[in-house]
Amino acid sequence: MTTPQKTIIDCVTGEIVTRDFNETELTQFEAETAQIKKDATAKAKAEKALADKQQTILDRLGLTADEFKTLIG
């Protein structure tokens, strides 16, 4: 993996500097990336649990998702 870079633009002078992340920035970037992946996994798990719960209810009623949507739509 290449090192992420940061672009700094000085609006007064118009100078543009692009440099690699320093150790602190890289550590923070990696921590934030790991947290984003963790949050995405947790969200996907919660959405799956909700979908399973909804399907269980529909199964008890003997309805498909399309039939339910037709009834409430």
35 located within any domain: yes
11 located within any domain: no
Number of domains in the chain: 1
Tell me what the mean pLDDT of segment 14-29 comes to. 96
Tell me what the mean pLDDT of segment 5-34 comes to. 96
In angstroms, rounded to a whole number, what is the distance separating the alpha carbons of residues 26 and 3? 8
Tell me what the mean pLDDT of segment 23-31 comes to. 96
Q: Which residues contact 2 (CB under 8 A, 6 or more apart)?
A: none
Inter-residue contact 34 to 27 (CB < 8 Å): no
Q: What is the mean pLDDT of the chain?
A: 95
User: Tens digit of pLDDT for each residue in 61-70?
Assistant: 999 999 999 9
- Do you know the residue count of the chain? 73
pLDDT over threshold 90, residue 1 = no
9 located within any domain: no
Instruction: Show the tokens assigned to 18.
Output: 């692009």
Which domain covers residue 29, as residue numbers? 23-72
